Every structure is written in C-alpha cells, then in structure tokens.
Structure 1
C-alpha cells in the first residue's frame, strides 16, 4: 500500500512546472519505480511533459534509471526510481533537558543521530549547539544535499493560558523561532510540536502506515497528542491542537491535569522525592526491571489516568487506533499500556475492528526526531515546496 495519498491531477497549461515536477516525484516515490506512460496516465500530464520533467530530474540526480519493464506489446518501458540520497532531511527535537538530531534520506533511513544533554534550553544555547551538531553531521556523513530542517518541541506555541507548564522551553514563547532556527542552520525550517511529529513518523515508517486516521500519544517531557485525519496532520489554528496533557482526569478524589500524573516529569518528580534520580531512559528501565516501588505505584496511577485520556481521544476523533510512544523505555511503556482499561462506552468499541484500539509505537525514543525529518520529506513531495527542491 502506498505511504503517500494520491496526488491531485496535473495540468499542462494551468499548473506551474514546479507543481508538475512534484507530481512526478510523488508518484515515483509512492510506486517505487514507474515508466513515463504510467506517470502520465495517473498524473493527468501529457507523456511529452512527463518526458521533459523526467529528463530534468535525472540530470539533477533526483531520479535514476531502474531497468526496463515489458508490458505486453511494444518495446519494454524504462522505469525510473527515486535516488534516496538525492535529498537529505535534518530532524531536530528540542526538549527541556536534551537535544536530539537525526539526518534521514528520502526513504526515511536514518544516516546520522546524536543526543546532547541540555542544562540550558534557551534559544541562544540551542541554536549554537544545533549549528555545531549540523557541522559535525555533515562532516561524518557527507550530507551535502540537506533540503531542510524539521524542528519539533513541546507545545503550546506562543504565549497562551497554558504557559508556565513544566514541559515549557524557557524563552521560546516570545522568540521568532522560525527565523532564529533558519539562521542558525542555514536551511529552510518547518516547526511542529513533538506529538504531531511523532504521528508523522508513525505514518511514514511505523504502525500508522496505510491508516487514514489515527492518534499518537507522545511521551516527551509532558504528554502530547498528534492526530492524523485523512492522512493529514490536524494542527489547529496556531499549531497547538493536541494539548492532551492539560485535560482533567480523576485522581484520588480530585481532578488534575493528565501530565501531572502520567508524564515522564511526573515520574521523575516522584522518584526525586525519595532521593532517586532517573534522568535517562536507561536509568528508568533499570528501576522498572528492579521493580522500584515508587515507579510501580506510578504505573498504577498513570494507567488509570491514561484510561480516561484514551477514552476521550477515541470519542473525540474516532481513530483507527491510538499509538503510544516516545521517551519512555519500551518495557516501561508496554507495562503502562497494559494497565490502561479500555472503556466499553467508546465509539472504538465495535465489532469487526481491523486494528487494536491501543498499541505501542514502533519508532522508539527517536520518534519525534524522525518525525521532524519526515516533515521535510513529506513537504518536499508536495506542490507547496516543489520550488525549493
């Protein structure tokens, strides 16, 4: 099944050449390899227009010849495939305590990854570190065809009534983040919240492949929600859709914000109150395997809180499935999901389901970082960015 939805039909007269280039690239990427006639037939372009575009894309290194295919009568048709190294994407995830960077090719394969601990997540510090890491990455991989950078960070973006949460990045709400990051990286930049980027990663290379609608619960510092509807991100008016960490859930006779109970920082604070430090996933996993009593109590509380959150997500968005992933080690995440009670009073409780209601994601700790790179790759094959390719 194609990972990319069918493109709109092209036009030889009314559409720009850049738009039509993107249609050809999208089709070749979706099919793996195609001939001129097939591309023309499915894009709505003339065979001559497709031939001209393919000639340009081959000359520029985007497409390569992939052998000939016999299709009945006539001469075998030359097939063209995407060169996955023709363009590379930089993915960046900024957390209050860490900076994660990856470079992926056009097929989503990770060519470079790096994690740097942050003691200061202010814009000046983050931008300088990113500049240095980019230089290191280019030197190590020879990544000289970076087409853009996707940068993801915890929401909400801008000054809102939710400002001041424990997952906030200091100094970024008042910053022109897009301009600052583009200058530091010397690349076109797309900014997205971390949960939406995680959903994008699952759509491109995880359990979301082939699904039209699904939700992604993302454990970063707090908890976010990315929603894919008809294979597109649901962003909201200001890119702040999915702040599920702020919904109220019952806890010990009162209502509190979900992320005050079920997030990584809530677990960290509980452990710190008993003198236990667990700043890394490896440390959390070790405590889980040792059945640390504080962590085990957190699992029970977090499971109950997430039960209410998942029910809310199902009844609001009617997703094919809810995928959970992020900065929790896999054994701990699986144990948490096993404690989530799926309600019968849900639109997701129906016969003939094709997918489980709640599953563990496949992309791991780099989910949002991979998603950041996927944002660039996805945009590179759409008309709105065709002129930048």
Structure 2
C-alpha cells in the first residue's frame, strides 16, 4: 500500500525522492527519503473587510510566497487584479482560492449570517467574479474556522484538540479535533460569541469604540498600540475588564471540549491580546474540593489582522483538494 501511495504522490509531484547514502559496511538497498514538494501546487488566500483586504499566495506547507495588503474599499476590480498578479507570478499551478469570510457559512456554502458591520460586503459578486475569471474553485469558510485549522496544521504541532477565539468586529470561535474542524450538525459549532451577548460588554472592536467614544474606523493597529504604550487608562481598564469577562466562556470551553490549546486572535495588536489573556482565569468553573481538569495552553496566534486571515484561508483549497477535508464551496445565495 505504501508503494502505491508513493506512486500516487509521485504522479502529482507532491513528494521529492532522495536516496540515502549507505555508511561503510552497510548492505542492502539504500533507504528512500521522501519530503514534501512545497512547490507542487500553490494556493491563493483572501480576506476582505470594510476598508481593508489582503491576498496571499502560499505553498503546500503554508509558507507565504507573496502577499498584498491594502487599505481600500471592498471594490471587486482591484481585489481581482491583485489576485491575477499573484497567480501570474506563481511558478506552480494554483489549486484554488480560499476566502475567510466574516460570516457563518452553511454546509452547502451558503452564507447563513454575515457579521452585521460587514453585511454590505460584495461577497457573492466577488466569489462569482473570481471563479469566472480564473476558472478556479473558490472555497470559503468562517474566519475562525480557517485559523483553527491552520494553527492545528502547523509543522511540529501535535494538538489533539485546539480551540480558537477571534476578537474582531464580533466574537467567534473554531474548534479543531480529531484532525478536522468540528462543525456540528449544521456547520455552526463553536459559536462562543453567544456566551458573551452583544447587548453587554464584550471584547470586540465595536465595544471598544463605544468605550473610548470614538468612531469604529479609527481603531487601527497603530492607534491602539499607541494608546497601549502610552498607558491610556481607559484602554487598560477595558482590557482588564473584558479579559475577566472571557474567563467563564473560555472555562466553559475547557469543561466541554478539553482542548490542549486555546488560541486567541483577531484585529487587536498583539500586546493588547497578551494582556487580555493574562486576565483570563481558565479555572473559573472549577468546583472547590474536586480535582480540576487539566488546563490548556493559552496563547496568541501569529495570524493577526486581514493578512493573517488571508494566510489561513490559503489552506482551504489544499484541505479540499489534497487532504480530503471538507471546505465549503462558495455559494452566497441564501435559502429563502
């Protein structure tokens, strides 16, 4: 069976073969060393939000070969032109396009619900234009699902269960277990935002904008990082309070899913997310007198902002075309 598998890998040029050299005195056939051919295929990753978009081209190991990130309105033509440039510059065939969307995606690829602040994005038109122009499959999935899968597939990671929480225009989650994203019965699992009601205080950009009394579009990374390093009391109080409010929802994740890692990401600067994590108590639901569950590692992802989500989305075509995993095909029409 291994010989047949290697033959198939070789047919698609997914592996490199190299004969080892025998040491003096060794006999027999030299062992065959196999390594992944990162450049057998490349894939495109995309993320779009109001005022920003990012496009990446990645190899099979998830290494970024080229990236474009722009502060611009979500106009289809410039985005498609940037995708065209990345495809034209690729030395390898393109497997497809992966799009991390700010939405719950149905199992059939329909958009069940788009985050309210991003509802005006031309997601359907963009997907249709990309598919028609490049004759490539377009896969899309909830951004939190994309990052959860990417984090779990990182080289030299051995997570048996990983939960990802994103803090951006809302609060969302993704669970990776048993070598796949856990999607639930209707592709709506891990919706941790429901445990932190929108009507109350929650660690999101709209909530912080209200707290600071400034427009949402002012909350750039540079602006927030400057406030943080200046020791702005309003910001620091908000971080500490919202971190404490994350304790019970994330402790619930520990109790229900028992992951070995909880990864935090979103559209905040790293230093803000790290301070927020320091305020989280994963033992908030421990019962006095009972042995507590083993707590997971709590860390901040490297995949922050639009560029990080585009990088994570580049895994969608690879997962669907080569790994045999489910990645929803883009189909934005909502059922009536």
1:168 aligns to 2:133 (yes or no) = no
Following TM superposition, by how much is the alpha carbon of 1:240 offset from its aligned partner in structure 2, in angstroms? 2.8
Distance 1:300 1:322 in 2: 19
Distance 1:275 1:76 in 2: 66
Distance 1:184 1:312 in 2: 45
Contact kept? 2:45, 2:56, Cα under 8 Å: yes
Distance 1:104 1:95 in 2: 21
Tell me which residue corresponds to 1:262. 203
1:116 aligns to 2:59 (yes or no) = no
Counting only pairs closer than 5 Å after superposition, residues 1-389 of structure 1 correspond to structure 2 as 44-45=1-2, 47=3, 49=4, 52-53=7-8, 56-57=11-12, 61-68=13-20, 70=22, 73-119=27-73, 121=74, 125=75, 127-139=76-88, 141-157=89-105, 163=113, 165-170=115-120, 175=124, 179-205=128-154, 209-248=157-196, 256-257=197-198, 261-271=202-212, 273-274=213-214, 278-346=218-286, 353=294, 356-365=296-305, 366-383=307-324
Distance 1:114 1:265 in 2: 26
SS of 2:100 mapped into structure 1: strand
Query: Residue 297 and residue 219 in structure 1: after superposition, are their counterparts in 2 closer, same or farther (change >3 A)?
Result: same
Of structures 1 and 2, the one scoring higher in RCO (CA 8 A, sep 6+) is 2
Following TM superposition, by how much is the alpha carbon of 1:56 offset from its aligned partner in structure 2, in angstroms? 3.0
Contact kept? 2:201, 2:242, Cα under 8 Å: no
Question: For 1:4-60, what per-residue CA distance to the aligned partner results, in whole angstroms no more than 9, with x for missing partners?
Answer: xxxxxxxxxxxxxxxxxxxxxxxxxxxxxxxxxxxxxxxx35x4x457546534xxx
Query: Residue 305 and residue 180 in structure 1: after superposition, are their counterparts in 2 closer, same or farther (change >3 A)?
Result: farther
More helix by share: 1
Question: For 1:200-221, what per-residue CA distance to the aligned partner results, in whole angstroms no more than 9, with x for missing partners?
Answer: 12112279x2011110011232
Q: Unpaired segments of 5 or more residues in structure 1? A: 1-43, 249-255
Distance 1:291 1:206 in 2: 37
Following TM superposition, by how much is the alpha carbon of 1:184 offset from its aligned partner in structure 2, in angstroms? 4.7
Distance 1:67 1:101 in 2: 38
Distance 1:224 1:246 in 2: 9
Distance 1:360 1:53 in 2: 38
Query: Residue 384 and residue 299 in structure 1: after superposition, are their counterparts in 2 closer, same or farther (change >3 A)?
Result: closer
Q: Unpaired segments of 5 or more residues in structure 2? A: 327-336
SS of 1:377 mapped into structure 2: helix
Following TM superposition, by how much is the alpha carbon of 1:196 offset from its aligned partner in structure 2, in angstroms? 0.6
- CA-based RMSD of the aligned residues comes to 3.2
Distance 1:113 1:52 in 2: 33
Query: Residue 303 and residue 188 in structure 1: after superposition, are their counterparts in 2 closer, same or farther (change >3 A)?
Result: same
The number of residues matched between the two structures is 317
Distance 1:164 1:268 in 2: 20
SS of 2:153 mapped into structure 1: helix
Following TM superposition, by how much is the alpha carbon of 1:295 offset from its aligned partner in structure 2, in angstroms? 1.3
